[in-house]
Structure 1
Amino acid sequence: MTLRLRTGLVLTLVLLAGCDRLSNLNQPAPSPQASVVSPVPSVSPSPTVTATPNPKPELTQSVERQLSSLLTDALTVEPTSIQCPDKEKAQPGDRTRCQVSVDAQTFPVEIEFTNSSGAFNWQTKDLVILSKLESFIQNKVKEQSEVNVTVNCGGTIRVTQAGETFECGMSDPQGKSRPVKVTVKDSQGRVDVTL
Structure 2
Amino acid sequence: MEKYHIKLTEEEAGLLSKIDLRSYHQNHEEGRAAYLNNQEPILALLKSLSGRRAVPEVRLSYWNDPNYRSGRIKGSRKGLFERNGCTGSDIYTHPHFLEQLRYFLFGTELPDAVIEAFEAKVGNPEWVSSSDIVPIGKAARDLTRRYRLDIAAAPEEFFKLCLDMGLGLSAAESVMRSVKQVR
Q: Same fold (TM over 0.5)?
A: no
Q: Name the structure with the higher strand share.
A: 1
Structure richer in helix, relative to its length = 2
TM-score of the superposed pair, with normalisation by structure 2: 0.24
Higher Cα Rg: structure 1 or 2?
A: 1
Relative to the length of structure 1, the TM-score reads: 0.23
Q: Looking at both structures, which has the greater relative contact order when contacts are Cα pairs under 8 Å and sequence separation is at least 6?
A: 2
